[in-house]
Structure 1
Amino acid sequence: MDNKAFFRGGRPRPLVMGILNVTPDSFSDGGKWNGPEAAVRHAFEMVDAGADMIDIGAESTRPGVVVPVPEAEELSRLMPVLERLMPSLDVPVSVDTYKAAVARAAVGAGVSVINDVSGLVDPDMARTAAECDVPLVIMASYGTPATFKTDQISKDAVYYALAFIRERIAEAERAGVDADAVITDPGAGFGFDAAQSMELIRRSSDFSFGGRYPVLVGPSRKRFVSTLYPSMDRDEATAEICAVAAEAGADIVRVHDVARTVRRLSRQD
């Protein structure tokens, strides 16, 4: 994939990445799409609703997941869906995983982006992305789902997140990842409280590091969304936050409710 051409194509709105959870325990829709047929059907529903790409994950990333999903189990959830989905889907697919072996298998099945919410906790992840020659999302993070905690970063959130991502980009580039293959994610909602998360989103353009990298923002249905917009349901509030992200320079927004987000962003075109 030509990362620059696709993610920074001068569109009037950010790309909308539809979330496809094939897990029994996702924080928002666990179990709903964890059968291959249901998952594939939902992926096409999101594309019909306007999704520019699909992000598929087979391990919940909600904070405090006590037991990590073994690699073999993650693959057993993921691969049957990819085998059915990839031959007929005409938008790019990313895999949401922090395990390099899972990422490599997913790319082998046709996935074209690795979305690592752990910030490269697996020492082989950057090398895997380089060898597979696919874009890599690097998120400001405090580890894996088992070690995530909410509201744990007390210092300046933007300073911390920028420093974290800068270090991980350097690590990725040392492993052979091309600069044009890096996507950054400020990590809103992962260790940051509501005010910090919103500040990260309002500062989205900072995470492009002067326009070098596309920026992904993923607020969808997270706890801080309801804190910031208590009178709205989480999908409506998510769409509002995505509109803020769009104004702030985000290139990609990752959401569950694609249709509502597309409608909200279309009002800004």
Structure 2
Amino acid sequence: MGDAGEVPAETAGGIEIVYETFGDRAEPPVLLVMGLGTQLLGWRAAFCEALVERGHFVVRYDNRDIGLSTHLDDASRPDFPALLAGDASSAAYDLSDMADDAVALLDHLGLDAAHVVGASLGGMIAQTLALDHPERVLSLTSIMSTTGDRGVGSATEAAMTVLLAPPARSREEALERSVASARVLGSPGYPADPEDVRRRAGEAWDRDHDPAGVGRQLAAIYASGDRTARLAGLDVPTLVLHGADDALIDVSGGRATAEVVPGAELLVLEGMGHDLPEALWPPVLDAIAALVRRADQARAA
């Protein structure tokens, strides 16, 4: 558990965002934004504590429609064929709305700005936050994410099968599905322990399971379009981190992000897929901490 436990913050739109903090508020704040259908548990507590040990105040939270944050249960069902054709009218919200949730959380915490770290969908939200509210972002770390350009960051056929599979109908099915998914989406150079995958999937199931909410998050991605042109004008210290063996968002998505954001640093990790294996935490954490130091030093100069 984090230092403050899990508590809600209410946005201007009446959505409650449940969050947890780690460390000393006097240290540089790092806001962790998780990906599609993944609760704040996706940022492992030990990962957060390791960031604290590197001198940071850490915040992790549930995006809307996942975990203990507000679920938009009354929203209409997304029309994915229409979304793919460019008609976003069936989406309940977009990435800008999800970025606004992060701003509301920063307001609730009394933080003028934070170093923002996003993974997968969280990277897209983090990018959007930096574009829509640059004054609230001290640095941007975009992990295993992409620009919104459908020409880059494509998934393999096997990964799309995992992504679009019907939802699990029971806890046990969800656990077995998580192990099978990890074999496809995980890091080939750092295979996950199936029992650890099952344990964490069980924790997530017991805390919340809402496949309809995941569908609305996916619709938000399609409704938000290509950020490439806007990213070219971004003036925020940026790190792009990607696995060389990512089956869900190909490394070309990370490379395209780093190429378009002025001055962005790119770190490609061999053997890493669409997850954050514990064996790779040291280089990931060190890269984030180094970016935070550079950004803070540049602001102080």
TM-score by length of 1: 0.38
TM-score by length of 2: 0.35
Larger radius of gyration: 2
